A = this chain, B = another copy of it.
Amino acid sequence: MTFSPETAADLAPRILAGERRALARAITLVESGRADHRAQATALLDRLGTAKKALRIGLSGTPGVGKSTFIESFGMMLVGQGHRVAVLAVDPSSARSGGSILGDKTRMERLSREPAAFIRPSPSQAQLGGVARRTREAVSLCEAAGFDVVLIETVGVGQSETLVAEMTDLFILLMAPAGGDELQGVKRGIMEMADMILVNKADGDLKPAALRTMADYAGALRLLRRRPQDPAGFPKAVAVSALAEEGLKTAWEDMQALAAWRRAQGHFDRRRAEQARHWFETEVREGLLARLVTDPAIRARMQALGSAVAAGQTAPAVAAAEMLAALQR
């Protein structure tokens, strides 16, 4: 795909008008690693501004808990209530495994055909850092395009959950019914990040197990220290059935109640402000380090000094001091 220098000027009004094709194209632009694309992406984000805001919901769940079915049912319910819903994915493993969550839109057949919904698979990028930047910029683009609920889906592995929690307003864990023993499988750190635990598959034969599991998680959540950003009763565990479309409205009401309480208490805006500052600082640090490899003159100097160090001609600290002095000039 090519992007002319007029890309930002062309795309901005179309995104603000809610045009999905322009939004898709803009996300491809922010996913690009090319320096000229980066400059255009920055120009585009500058033009779009930061006025429009969605409720950003992080959703984590390991394969098999019924995440696609949940997003399909939950998304359709939101659309039915008049919301515009964007679904993004953070899957740092997709580059390795070849597959990607949300890669197959047929997994959310109804939602993907819905004009008020926008679904975007995870990009095939190896680095979590790259995925992070792309995703938070994609969130901004979706907000500018008028989507008022943005779901960010992630698989329950490694650091991707922390990453998603750091770019969302609410963080939801989707779980499957399980024996009491399996409860321990959820890491304490993940439990502490969760605002709600939804136990899915509370239907048919699994319903009793789902209700037991919900009660177990509710008990575990009560043992956690009360967080200042939580009203009474949160974090909470509830049982839902994505398949039978049961419990979804109640879960959504809970999410809205939690968000409303946090807005009223100032927690919501404070968290947004902290997140924005955090991403700004991360971006500066990453950009600074990127110069070491992208600037040809700096890169050549790094390699020459690195070779001298490897050959034992100079100490690492001495060569580093020389390089840093050169960078400061």
* A residues apposed to B, CB below 8 Å: 39, 41-42, 45-46, 48-50, 133, 136-137, 140, 272-274, 276-277, 279-281, 283-285, 287-289, 291-292, 302, 305-307, 309-321, 323-324, 327-328
Contact = CB atoms under 8 A, between A and B. Distances in A.
A140 to B, nearest CB: 6
Contacts of A291: 328
Contact of A273 (B42, B48, B302, B311): B311
A317 B279 CA distance: 8
Give the oligomeric copy count: 2
B280 A319 contact: yes
27 contacts: A39-B321, A41-B317, A42-B317, A45-B315, A45-B318, A46-B315, A46-B318, A48-B315, A50-B313, A50-B314, A133-B317, A140-B315, A273-B310, A274-B310, A276-B310, A277-B307, A277-B309, A277-B310, A280-B309, A280-B316, A280-B323, A284-B324, A284-B327, A287-B320, A287-B324, A288-B324, A291-B328
A41 B314 CA distance: 14
Contact of A292 (B42, B136, B288, B302): B288
